[in-house]
Amino acid sequence: MSVQTKDADLKRRVKRELGKIRPVLKRDGGDVSFVSLSAAGVVKVRLMGACTNCPGATMTVKSVIERRLRKAIPEVKKVVRV
């Protein structure tokens, strides 16, 4: 499998997992979108809606999004909010 194919597959898996997380955020009027994935396994996400200015946004990224992505996809090392 080529590097490009692996990267595309990893991005697809990350996006799919974010889709599973999205309903949790939408219950509180928020949302998340995928921005990028680095070769080092850092996923960048953008919080939207109520999550944009929420004081708990950092906790949401670390406790919900990062924890679930890392559990489901071992290649993910970190999630950062942009």
pLDDT tens, 17-75? 999 999 999 999 999 999 999 999 999 999 999 998 889 999 999 999 999 999 999 99
| pLDDT over threshold 80, residue 81 | yes
Q: What is the pLDDT of residue 73?
A: 97
Q: What is the pLDDT of residue 4?
A: 80
**Could you give the domains of the chain?**
3-81 (3.30.300.130)
Q: What is the pLDDT of residue 5?
A: 82
For 75, other C-beta atoms within 10 Å of its C-beta total 15
Q: How far apart are CA 66 and CA 52, in angstroms?
A: 17
| pLDDT over threshold 90, residue 12 | yes
